């Protein structure tokens, strides 16, 4: 539980959280505490959203160090690309996918290497962003019976040969694949 801080003891504030919390309690920006808040990406982001209601330029270099807060800042504050944060975003499969889908509305090539390390995000990137095959992510997708089946059905709309070895190791997904993918091929659908 946080303590209520008055203007009298503002000098007792020592952490970015305490500084943010004070500004939140009084409901307005506190310029003399902004340097302290700007030391932490989480509280800088929240200060921008909850207190300023806009860009917190003094802290953008700190926010840009974390993939999550960079992506959220781009979405919630900038309403578009946050180029200063793209290097950090590109290190995370989750945030690269979210940035591509929700902020850019298209491919985020800088983050594709990270996305290609995760079968789920590779699949969703192919489905939601590229709207077609994501060849860079196919090797990791092929290691997962579930994501191989989903990729075959929803992206390729046919056999995914790279994933068939993994699929064959899992009875449930083998059955699903045979029923939904191989059956269509035999019928000529």
Dist CA 45 CA 37 (whole Å): 9
Q: Report residue 92 CA to chain centroid gap.
A: 7
In 25-184, the DSSP E strands lie at none
pLDDT in the model for residue 1: 44
In this structure, is residue 157 part of a structural domain? yes
pLDDT in the model for residue 6: 53
Q: Which domain holds residue 178?
A: 142-189
pTM metric for this prediction: 0.88
Which residues, in sequence order, are CB contacts of 93 under 8 Å at separation 6+?
A: 111, 114, 115, 116, 117, 118, 121, 122
In this structure, is residue 24 part of a structural domain? no
In this structure, is residue 25 part of a structural domain? no
Provide the domain count of the chain: 1
pLDDT in the model for residue 11: 84
pLDDT in tens, 80-130: 999 999 999 999 999 999 999 999 999 999 999 999 999 999 999 999 999
In this structure, is residue 179 part of a structural domain? yes
For the chain, list residues with pLDDT below 50: 1-2, 5, 8, 189
Nearest Cα residue to 125 out of 137, 139, 142, 110 = 137
């Amino acid at each position: 539980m946080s303590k209520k801080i008055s203007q009298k003891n503002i000098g007792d504030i020592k952490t970015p959280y305490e500084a943010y919390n004070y500004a939140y309690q009084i409901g307005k920006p506190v310029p003399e505490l902004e340097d302290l808040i700007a030391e932490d990406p989480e509280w800088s982001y929240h200060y921008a959203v909850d207190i300023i209601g806009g860009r917190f330029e003094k802290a953008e270099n700190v926010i840009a160090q974390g993939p999550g807060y960079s992506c959220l800042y781009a979405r919630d504050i900038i309403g578009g690309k946050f180029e200063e944060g793209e290097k950090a975003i590109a290190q995370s499969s989750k945030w690269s996918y979210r940035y591509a889908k929700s902020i850019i509305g298209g491919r985020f090539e800088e983050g594709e290497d990270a996305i290609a390390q995760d079968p789920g995000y590779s699949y969703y990137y192919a489905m939601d962003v590229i709207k077609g095959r994501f060849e860079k992510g196919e090797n990791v997708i092929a290691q997962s019976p579930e994501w191989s089946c989903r990729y075959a059905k929803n992206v390729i709309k046919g056999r995914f040969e790279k994933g068939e070895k993994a699929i064959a190791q899992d009875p449930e997904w083998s059955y699903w694949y045979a029923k939904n993918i191989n059956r269509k091929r035999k019928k000529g659908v």
